[in-house]
Amino acid sequence: MAANTSLARRAFAEHVVDLLRGLGPVQARAMFGGHGLYLDGLMFALLVDARFFVKVDAET
């Protein structure tokens, strides 16, 4: 079961990266049971339990 979950997480991460390809070379890196999304070496989002969390600050 864990392997299926891992494969599903990876497939979701690849799908999101594909959707975000217009931003540039987005990369997904496995972390903490999810994936961090990086652009130009900076993490800007997190994928956990098929949810997409975007890192924001007061300006954005």
Please name the helix (run of DSSP H) or strand (run of DSSP E) that holds residue 14, with its range, or none.
helix 2-19
Of the two residues 44 and 2, the one the predictor is more confident about is 44
Show Cβ contacts of residue 35 under 8 Å, excluding neighbours closer than 6 positions.
9, 10, 13, 28, 29, 46, 47
> For the segment 2-40, what is each residue's pLDDT rounded down to a tens digit?
677 889 999 999 999 999 999 999 999 999 889 999 999
Write down the pLDDT at residue 2: 65
Tell which phi-psi region holds residue 50, choosing left (phi > 0), alpha (psi between -120 and 50) or beta: left
Strands (DSSP E) found in 1-60: 27-31, 34-39, 42-48, 51-54
Write down the pLDDT at residue 5: 87
Taking residues 33-60, what's their average pLDDT?
94
Q: What is the residue extent of each domain of the chain?
A: 2-54
Write down the pLDDT at residue 21: 96
Closest of 24, 29, 49, 18 to residue 39, by C-alpha? 24
